[in-house]
Amino acid sequence: MLKSTLPVLVDFTAVWCGPCKMLEPVVKQLSQDWDGKVKFVILDVDDNSSLAVKYGVMGVPTLILFVNGNPVQRLSGYQPKDRIISKFGAYI
């Protein structure tokens, strides 16, 4: 995932998380809007706790954008589509 030539947007989520469920359709829409420009990965923190710890994920949902394998931007909590675009768009 982190060796991708495209930017990688990782959505750290959990099945029990209400705001994560609210963010799900936003991420789905962005994956369609940015098709071919960004790779999207959804990681459940309960199943991937070591990655959550490695990248300092303290709460869910957390979106982290990786470019060339390095985290370059992050957003935590539910975010509207416009906010995600304004935060990550410069890297796309």
Q: 44-92, pLDDT tens digit by residue?
A: 999 999 999 999 999 999 999 999 999 999 999 999 999 999 999 999 9
Domain extent, residue 48, equals 1-12+30-63
Tokens encoding 47: 């199943």
Q: Active-site residue among 9, 10, 14, 17?
A: 17
In a domain, 49, yes or no: yes
CA dist., res. 72 & res. 70, Å (int): 6
Q: Active-site residue among 10, 14, 20, 63?
A: 20
36 as an active site residue: the answer is no
Three-state DSSP state, 16: coil
In a domain, 53, yes or no: yes
In a domain, 70, yes or no: no
What number is the average pLDDT over the span 5-13? 97
48 as an active site residue: the answer is no
Q: Cite the DSSP H helix spans in 2-80.
A: 18-33, 49-54
In a domain, 20, yes or no: no
Three-state DSSP state, 68: coil
Q: Is the pTM of this model over 0.85?
A: yes
Give the pLDDT band of residue 2 (cuts 50, 70, 90): low
Tally of structural domains, the chain: 1
In a domain, 45, yes or no: yes
In a domain, 46, yes or no: yes
